[in-house]
Amino acid sequence: MEVTSVTSKGQVTIPKELRQHLGIRQGSRVEFSLVGDHVEMRVRSSPLGAMGSGFGMLKSRCAAAVPTDFDPASLLKR
């Protein structure tokens, strides 16, 4: 179990492993419910995006795989 902090705007970061397992990505809709003394979150819908388009289904023999969450802008920060 991972612990995250709540920002001043009430936002939290869902750990990467959970996002990948549940298919949560930008544009996903989630539902929150109060159950007793805890909160349950359910994924209501996820945009088709890369998974629905078939992107990444074929493997290349020439190049190393690039993670689906790779941000090319991160290369400019160096």
pLDDT tens for 10-26 read: 999 999 989 888 888 88
pLDDT above 70 (res 48): no
pTM value is 0.54
Task: Report the candidate in 25, 69, 32 with the shortest Cα–Cα distance to residue 47.
Answer: 25
Any idea what the Cα angle at residue 29 is, between residues 25 and 31, rounded to 5°? 125
